[in-house]
Structure formats: C-alpha cells, structure tokens
Amino acid sequence: MSAALAVYRVRMPLLLGSAVTIIAATVLSLALPDGPVASVVGVLPLVGVVGMLVAFSSSLPAARHLPAGEPVVVRSPVVGRWAALNSPATKVPSHGVRAYGQAYAIDLVHEPLDQDRPEFGSGAAMRDVADYPAFGQDVRAMVDGVVVTAHDRQRDHRARSSMAAVVYMMAEGMLRELGGPRFIIGNHVVIRTDDGVFALVAHLQRGSVAVREGERVQAGQRIGSCGNSGNSSEPHVHAHLMDRRSAWTGQGLPIAFTDVAVEDAAPGVGLPGNGEHMTVR
C-alpha cells in the first residue's frame, strides 16, 4: 500500500504530464515525416495512456487508506460574519475531490448583517467583484509559522453570477488545470508550522499579500485581502491544511477553528456546515 500511496501523492502531476504527452505526441506524429523519430513519437501516446491508468488506478485504494486523524485547531482566517460553502463539516472531500490537498478545505463568503451579498442569478451574468462584501476584506494567518509560499500576481476576474457564467468557468477551469494548482487556487499564501502542518489561504486579491517567503508570522496577523483570483465564482476565502508545502503532492488534513460562534452557539472550537454562518470577533 505504501507504493500506491506514493503514486497517489503524485497522481496530479502524473495525470497532467500524461495528458500533455498524449496531445503533444499526437500533434507531432501528424507533422513528422516517416522515419525513426516518427516511430518513437508514435509510441508516446501509449506511454501517456499508461501513465493516466496508473494515476487513476492508485486513486481508489489509496484514498481509502489515507490517515484522517483529529482536526487541527487553528485561528479563523477571517473576522466578522461569514457563511460556509463546500465545508468538510458537511461532507469529505468537501469540494468533491482530494486534489491539491483540499479534501478538508472550506470556502467562506462574507455576509455581514448590514450589507447584502448578491444573489446568484440576479443582475449581470458576470458581476463586478466590488459588489460583494467579501472583496477586499482582511485575510489573516491561521497559524504561527513561517511563510513558505506567497503569490499575488494573478488578476481578480469578474464573478460568475449566472448559470451560463458558471458553465464558462468550468470550461475555463479545464484550461487552468493545465497550468497546475497555482492557476486553480489563484493568489495564495502557505504557512508552515513548527509541527509540519501547512496552512493555505487562497483566491487572494491581486497585490494584497502583505508577507514574504521566509517571514515568520503569528496567528491572527493580516497576510492579505480576499479577492477573486484563480478558479473562483465569487470573492471568497478558501482555507485548508495539508501535510506538504506543495498542493501538487500535499494531502488534506482535518481542520477546525477556535473562538468561532456557529449560528447561535457560544464561541468555541468548531466549523460551520454548508449554509451555516460563523461569527468571529
């Protein structure tokens, strides 16, 4: 099983590399004249198919043997009243996949009592991100540790606020996959704790990251602002924990927030389920 787990860790780069090999070799085989080079290139699509089969075949048995463990309790990355989407308190994997270390990831949208969050399907198909109360809100470090990744050069695109726009986003997402996890999670910061846990917050606003790689930060410290970069339908904060620095190979870890009030409960350790609100002072 250790070999299957090792393959499972690298399944995403293996899948991407296999897909690129199949496409590139197919195109080259059409352009090359008959000869030894063309013969070698003609075999490469088969190599790519084998690579994809190996990646897929490792997924089911390995996923069943992944260690879960107890939730790692961290600070909330946001302050105020936020609603949960795609929460591991409702299902695991929360986003339907375990790729990019997000088996236990949670998405948070800002819903303050004094400002409405635009309803899906109302207004323009692709709303201005400034219409959403989450856009520009402070995002804070969930843990004490050292910043190992800080990236904020991707643009904030318009919200995908209609079904047609979501279909467009899904097609766009397939292209983003070719660029790897950075183009899916957008602008992001990863912090390594002294215990070897890696805390990631994603979809940050372009140019907002306030920390540098190698910098030591404290939980609760502002590290950036909520944006709409990467594969995102509206401004929100994506947060998850993983056991590696790289989202290519990291596996998700269970997460819980400290000092959060879920709905009408008293503040404590917890995590809101899908559609539930949490308030952080």
| Domain identity same for 56 and 85 | no
- 177: its two tokens: 């996959």
Section 88-102 average pLDDT: 92
| Domain identity same for 89 and 132 | yes
Give residue 43's pLDDT band: very low, low, confident or very high (50, 70, 90): confident
- 51-86 pLDDT, tens digit per residue, is 878 776 766 565 665 656 899 999 999 999 999 999
Phi, psi at 239, each rounded to 5°: -135, 135
DSSP-assigned letter for residue 160: -
Is the pLDDT at 91 greater than 90, yes or no?
yes
| Domain identity same for 160 and 91 | yes
| Domain identity same for 80 and 41 | no
Q: What is the CATH classification number for the domain harbouring 254?
A: 2.70.70.10
| Domain's final residue, options 43, 64, 85 | 64
pTM of this structure:
0.82
Give residue 35's pLDDT band: very low, low, confident or very high (50, 70, 90): confident
Q: How many domains, the chain? A: 2
Percent of the chain past pLDDT 70, that is, above it, reads: 93
- Pick 136 or 14 by higher pLDDT: 136
| Domain identity same for 54 and 90 | no
**CA–CA gap between residue 66 and residue 195 (Å, rounded):** 19
Task: Tell the residue number behind the tokens 């695991």, with chain if given.
Answer: 92
Domain range holding 209?
72-280
What does 201-255 look like in DSSP terms, one character per residue?
EESBPTT-----TT-EE-TT-EEEEB---SS-SSS-EEEEEESSS-TTT--EE-E
- 165-180 pLDDT, tens digit per residue, is 888 888 887 778 778 8
SS3 138: strand
